[in-house]
Structures are given as structure tokens and as C-alpha cells.
């Protein structure tokens, strides 16, 4: 269901703005929808009260848990496969320290060469309530939810209206601190201006992977063609206006973007930026010719970047043993 349809339904049931606000609070908090019934000043109109069981059913049916895949890598991560109302599947990952990683699309059209999700193409966009439903389910299950990262299946730019609506819900009635909502994207210069116009400004993880325009378009075939340096400029402006440092994402691939020239370009482009460079050694992807550099090479790479003034770190993805790490999601029950 679209948010606009839910709002109309509430208005038809006699809900005033205050009732809508309270109901969305309960909805996004994963709490019973009747929690504000009986409050002297804000009690719901009768028609709305009577419709609460129907609305509860509607909320709970947006995503249905089909499979849990606990990781045994010691990080307490959990991969979850959800079935949507049309039978399609998406994946969510519960990460350590109360982070929930949600999907924004079924599949993805960008087709990054190092990503399992991109291999199957795009099936459909998620609606904002379906994106939020993954967080709502985590809350209903008692999972700690301190931070949401929109970093699962999908590219936000290709489903921007729904993604922005979901962010507005999460940072509004969902009560997440805005900095604790992280939008992951291949980015575009225009996106950063759009984000500055939003009531809820999320933090951003910008997927760079290469600073050479040709290599980047090869690795991320359907990403916008904005030059990487222009993207970094726009991202840096956003970081300075919003106050949230950018997380520059760099999947480290042996022989592709871990070379001396990559290091030199990164040092020039990212020193003194308001952000951190996350180097993610590539996770294994079925049928991919790429692999991660050896551990020692990754450590040497990051050490030299730090010496060059780039705030950087190596990020090992949690959940790789159950194929729930970065680039491994594919929304299939069969994965194990």
C-alpha cells in the first residue's frame, strides 16, 4: 500500500492530523496500533478505532518472514528473507550494535560487477511502507534498532520518491535520529541537492569504487555518469551542510582498484574531506572473476592512505558466511 493511500484511508475514517501522527508512531514503532486509544485529549474517532484490527493486519502483512539465517562468524548478524504481498522476496540484515540493513528494491538495475544482487537485474521497486516494514518487523521481534542503513538490495536513486518518503517516516514518526539513517547510493550531483531540501537529512554512504570515470562506468554499468570528482565535491558540500560525514565506500578488488595509481588518486581526492573512506575487501560472489587482495595488502593500502591524510579504515562485512554481507544479497529462499 502506498503511504498516500494509507493517509486517505485514515482521513476517511475520521482521523485528524494528530490521530494520523500518533497512529504512524505506533505503526513505525512496531507497537500495537491501539496504544493511544482512550487518551482523553487524542482518542481516535470511533470509525478509526473499529478499523484498527484491519490496519494492524495490513501493517503486519506488508512483509512476511520466510527465513532467518543466523551468522556464525561471531558478529551476531542475521540475514532475513521476507516475502512481499506479491510473492517476491527481499533480504534484510540485522547487524551488530542495533543496525538494521534494509532493501529498497527487489533486485537492482545498476549491475555492479562485484555484486550478486545486480546479476539478476531489477524486479520491482519497494514502496516506502515496505521499506519501513523491514524495520517495523525488527522492532516487533525485539531486535535492538538504533540505526537503519538503506544498503540492502537496490539503488536508492532508481526509487528515489519512495526512498525519501521512507527516510522521512523513519526520521519523523519512526523517531530515528537523522544521523542514524544512512542512505547508500552510487550517487549523483543532483541527489545531494535533493537531500538538502529534505526535512530529514540522512547520512550518506557514497559508493565510489574507482576515481577513473571509465573504470567506474565499467564496474557500475548503470550508475549516473557524473565524474567521480564532481560527486565527491557535491558529497563534501552535503557533509558540511548536514553535519554528517560522508562514508566513501570502496570495494577493494585485486588488480582493479588497489593499484598504486588508485592510492595516489584517492589521496589527492579525499584528504581533508569531511568523511571516512571504508575499504571493503570484496566478498565472494558466485561466478565473479574478481577477488579481494590478500589481508596484508589491504592493511598496507589503508596504512599508506592514512599517512597521506585520508581518514580511512578496512571494513570486513558481517554475515559473509551466510551470504548476507555487502554485495551478496539476492532475495532467494534457496541461499544458505
Residue ranges in contact with ligand SF4 by CB under 6 A:
108, 110-112, 115, 117-118, 153-155, 186, 327
Q: How far is Cα 295 from Cα 180, in angstroms, rounded to an integer?
A: 30
CB of 118 to ligand SF4, least distance (A): 3
CB of 115 to ligand SF4, least distance (A): 3
User: Between 106 and 263, whose beta carbon lies closer to ligand SF4?
Assistant: 106
User: Between 107 and 174, whose beta carbon lies closer to ligand SF4?
Assistant: 107
CB of 325 to ligand SF4, least distance (A): 12
Dump the DSSP string for 262-304.
HHHHHHHHHTT-SEEEEEEEPPP-TT-S--PPPHHHHHHHHHH
The catalytic residue among 91, 130, 155, 165 is 91
Q: How far is Cα 43 from Cα 96, in angstroms, rounded to an integer?
A: 38
The catalytic residue among 108, 112, 145, 326 is 326
User: Between 283 and 312, whose beta carbon lies closer to ligand SF4?
Assistant: 283
Q: How far is Cα 38 from Cα 46, in angstroms, rounded to an integer?
A: 11
Which H or E run includes 193?
helix 189-196
Residue 326 catalytic? yes
CB of 326 to ligand SF4, least distance (A): 7
Phi, psi of 22 (to 5 degrees): -70, -40
Q: Which residue has the cell 599508506?
A: 304
Residue 132 catalytic? no
User: Between 27 and 192, whose beta carbon lies closer to ligand SF4?
Assistant: 192
SS3 277: strand
Residue nearest to ligand SF4 (CB): 118
Cβ(237)–Cβ(275) below 8 Å: no
Catalytic residue list: 91, 326
Amino acid at each position: 500500500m502506498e503511504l498516500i493511500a494509507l493517509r486517505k484511508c485514515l482521513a476517511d475514517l475520521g482521523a485528524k492530523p494528530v490521530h494520523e501522527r500518533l497512529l504512524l508512531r505506533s505503526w513505525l514503532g512496531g507497537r500495537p496500533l491501539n496504544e493511544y486509544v482512550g487518551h482523553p485529549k487524542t482518542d481516535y474517532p470511533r470509525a478509526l478505532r473499529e478499523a484498527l484490527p484491519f490496519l494492524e493486519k495490513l501493517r503486519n502483512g506488508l512483509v512476511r518472514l520466510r527465513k532467518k539465517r543466523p551468522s556464525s562468524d561471531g558478529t551476531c548478524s542475521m540475514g532475513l528473507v521476507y516475502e512481499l504481498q506479491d510473492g517476491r522476496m527481499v533480504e534484510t540484515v540485522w547487524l551488530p550494535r542495533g543496525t538494521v540493513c534494509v532493501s529498497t528494491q527487489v533486485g537492482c538495475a545498476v549491475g555492479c560487477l562485484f555484486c550478486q544482487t545486480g546479476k539478476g537485474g531489477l524486479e520491482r521497486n519497494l514502496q516506502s511502507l515496505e521499506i519501513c516494514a523491514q524495520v517495523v518487523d525488527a522492532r516487533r521481534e525485539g531486535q535492538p534498532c538504533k540505526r537503519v542503513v538503506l544498503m540492502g538490495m537496490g539503488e536508492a536513486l532508481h526509487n528515489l520518491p519512495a526512498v525519501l518518503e521512507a527516510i522521512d517516516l523513519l526520521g519523523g514518526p519512526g523517531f530515528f535520529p537523522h544521523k542514524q539513517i544512512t542512505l547508500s547510493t552510487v550517487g549523483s550531483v543532483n541527489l545531494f541537492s535533493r537531500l538538502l531540501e529534505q526535512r530529514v537529512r540522512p547520512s550518506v554512504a557514497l559508493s565510489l569504487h574507482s576515481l577513473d570515470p571509465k573504470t567506474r562506468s565499467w564496474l557500475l554499468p548503470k550508475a549516473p555518469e557524473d565524474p567521480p570528482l564532481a560527486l565527491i565535491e557535491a558529497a563534501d558540500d552535503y557533509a558540511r551542510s548536514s553535519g554528517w560525514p560522508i562514508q566513501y565506500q570502496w570495494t577493494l578488488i585485486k588488480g582493479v582498484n588497489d593499484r598504486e595509481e588508485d592510492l595516489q588518486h584517492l589521496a589527492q581526492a579525499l584528504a581533508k574531506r569531511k568523511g571516512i573512506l571504508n575499504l571493503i575487501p570484496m566478498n565472494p560472489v558466485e561466478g565473479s572473476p574478481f577477488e579481494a587482495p590478500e589481508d596484508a595488502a589491504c592493511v598496507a593500502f589503508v596504512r599508506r592512505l592514512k599517512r597521506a591524510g585520508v581518514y580511512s579504515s578496512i571494513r570486513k562485512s558481517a554475515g559473509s558466511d551466510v551470504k548476507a554481507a555487502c554485495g551478496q544479497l539476492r532475495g532467494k529462499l534457496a541461499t544458505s
